[in-house]
């Protein structure tokens, strides 16, 4: 059974075609700059990379072009689109309506539309992907996999904000959490690697990518997470601020004469590690500058490590302890010094990193010492595989 996984952004989309008989990726790619006049597709098959320039104005045309490459005899991926059994769509926001993946029908599409106010940039892109598939491969079953669904197990005292209750009732203002697919995948995978039942483990997963969040996974379920109403909250990120004293927003509006949109842009695009360091949103650049003695680069990294470790400590409290800490996504998988720097703050929990084991990138591995009271692992995330597995399960029912 072959499943196509689609992850649509506002001007881009990523896809993977996965053979579910052996969970092998047959082809994958990214279409970038849709509607910007210079769009192109990067199509990867068997480790070979093909960059295909093809300006398109819509997701529909982009998806149409990508599907043509899957059947293009030059790349030998599939002979016909009939071989695609189903499509799994990554949808960012499922609000309170979805606590698991679902088969897409008109009702589901309507519900995804109703969640647009909660994710005005992301959900419309997901819907464009669904519509494009309805036109290009009509009749093929589709499944929606939500970033928020995994966190629907949080208790009300964990997700409610201390604001007038009417805003929760009127607008659904509460903590939702994101990266659920990654948190679910990594927690299950680490339990497998340890040969333990996930129902016996308290795991804190650190998904540290451009967008970053931590999740406390207690006995297999999301117990708490750092992102909130939107993916801006929680730990500082490459360009996003994470949690702040909320009066900073009104302070900036008054003192810098900014509109709400302008403040939102500063908090999303110009803050975090980029904001403090003034160097770059990319940790590789900021670390290089730190090594050159750049004080602000050093400050940005110290602040990042301190805040991540702070949330790990809070989540250890929340679960009455922690058995495993996992690192995943671009920074979590690759930044050796960041993992070490975060764990330096966690000695009080009995966390001890094995420097030699930690000296690795993007590999499944135990990186804590034998004596460490908490096990620490690197587990490369695989959201696409998780989406494909959910899709297979739902269409097979």
User: What is the contact surface with ligand ADP in residues (CB under 6 A)?
Assistant: 209-211, 238, 282-284, 329-331, 334-335, 361
Q: Provide the minimum distance between the beta carbon of 79 and ligand ADP in the complex, in angstroms, as a whole number.
A: 32
Please provide the size of the chain in residues.
397
- The residue from 19, 79, 147, 354 that is catalytic is 147
Q: Considering the complex, state which of residue 142 and residue 330 has its C-beta at the smaller distance from ligand ADP.
A: 330
Q: Considering the complex, state which of residue 374 and residue 377 has its C-beta at the smaller distance from ligand ADP.
A: 377
CA–CA dist 240, 53 (Å, integer): 31
For residue 301, give the DSSP letter: H
Q: Provide the minimum distance between the beta carbon of 34 and ligand ADP in the complex, in angstroms, as a whole number.
A: 17
CA–CA dist 312, 224 (Å, integer): 11
CA–CA dist 330, 380 (Å, integer): 9
Beta bridge partners of 40: 32, 53
Q: Considering the complex, state which of residue 185 and residue 283 has its C-beta at the smaller distance from ligand ADP.
A: 283
Q: Provide the minimum distance between the beta carbon of 287 and ligand ADP in the complex, in angstroms, as a whole number.
A: 8
For residue 348, give the DSSP letter: G
| Residue whose beta carbon is closest to ligand ADP | 330
Closest listed residue to residue 207, CA positions, set 335, 344, 332? 332
Q: With beta carbons less than 8 A apart as the criterion, state whether 210 and 330 touch.
A: yes
Q: Considering the complex, state which of residue 140 and residue 288 has its C-beta at the smaller distance from ligand ADP.
A: 288
CA–CA dist 343, 331 (Å, integer): 14
Q: Provide the minimum distance between the beta carbon of 209 and ligand ADP in the complex, in angstroms, as a whole number.
A: 3
* Angle (CA) 157 163 166, round 5°: 95
Q: Provide the minimum distance between the beta carbon of 386 and ligand ADP in the complex, in angstroms, as a whole number.
A: 14
CA–CA dist 250, 350 (Å, integer): 41
Q: Provide the minimum distance between the beta carbon of 168 and ligand ADP in the complex, in angstroms, as a whole number.
A: 28
CA–CA dist 2, 141 (Å, integer): 12
Q: Considering the complex, state which of residue 102 and residue 267 has its C-beta at the smaller distance from ligand ADP.
A: 267
Q: Considering the complex, state which of residue 147 and residue 323 has its C-beta at the smaller distance from ligand ADP.
A: 147
Closest listed residue to residue 242, CA positions, set 328, 283, 303, 160? 303
Contacts of 333 (CB under 8 A, 6+ apart): 327, 361, 362, 378, 380, 381
Say whether 323 is catalytic: no
Hey, which residues are catalytic here? 147
């Amino acid at each position: 059974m072959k499943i196509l996984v689609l992850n649509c952004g506002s001007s881009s989309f990523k896809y993977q075609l996965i053979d579910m008989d052996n969970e092998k990726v047959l082809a994958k790619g990214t279409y970038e700059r849709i509607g910007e006049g210079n769009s192109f597709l990067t199509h990867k098959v068997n480790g070979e990379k093909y960059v295909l320039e093809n300006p398109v104005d819509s997701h529909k045309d982009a998806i149409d072009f990508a599907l043509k490459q899957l059947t293009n005899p030059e790349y030998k991926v599939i002979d016909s689109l009939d071989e695609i059994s189903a499509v799994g769509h990554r949808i960012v926001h499922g609000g309170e309506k979805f606590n698991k993946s679902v088969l897409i029908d008109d009702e589901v599409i309507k519900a995804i539309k109703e969640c647009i106010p909660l994710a005005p940039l992301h959900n419309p892109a997901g819907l464009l992907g669904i519509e494009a598939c309805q036109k290009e491969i009509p009749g093929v079953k589709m499944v929606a996999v939500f970033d928020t669904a995994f966190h629907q197990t949080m208790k009300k005292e964990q997700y409610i904000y201390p604001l007038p209750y009417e805003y929760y009732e009127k607008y659904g203002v509460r903590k939702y959490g994101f990266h659920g697919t990654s948190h679910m995948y990594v927690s299950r995978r680490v339990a497998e690697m340890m040969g333990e039942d996930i129902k016996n483990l308290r795991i804190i997963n650190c998904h540290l990518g451009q967008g970053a969040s931590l999740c406390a996974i207690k006995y297999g379920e999301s117990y708490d997470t750092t992102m909130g109403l939107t993916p801006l909250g929680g730990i500082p990120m490459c360009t996003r601020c994470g949690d702040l004293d909320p009066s900073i927003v009104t302070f900036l509006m008054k003192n810098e004469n900014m509109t709400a949109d302008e403040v939102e842009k500063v908090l999303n695009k110009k803050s975090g590690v980029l904001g403090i360091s003034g160097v770059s949103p990319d940790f590789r650049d900021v670390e290089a500058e730190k090594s050159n003695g750049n004080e602000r680069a050093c400050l940005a990294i110290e602040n990042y490590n301190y805040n991540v470790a702070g949330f790990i400590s809070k989540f250890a409290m929340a679960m009455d302890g922690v058995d495993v800490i996992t690192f995943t996504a671009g920074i979590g998988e690759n930044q050796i010094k960041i993992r070490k720097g975060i764990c330096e703050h966690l000695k009080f929990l009995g966390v001890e990193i094995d420097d030699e084991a930690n000296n690795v990138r993007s590999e499944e591995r135990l990186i804590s010492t034998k004596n460490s009271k908490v096990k620490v692992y690197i587990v490369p995330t695989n959201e696409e595989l998780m989406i494909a597995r959910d899709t297979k399960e739902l269409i097979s029912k």
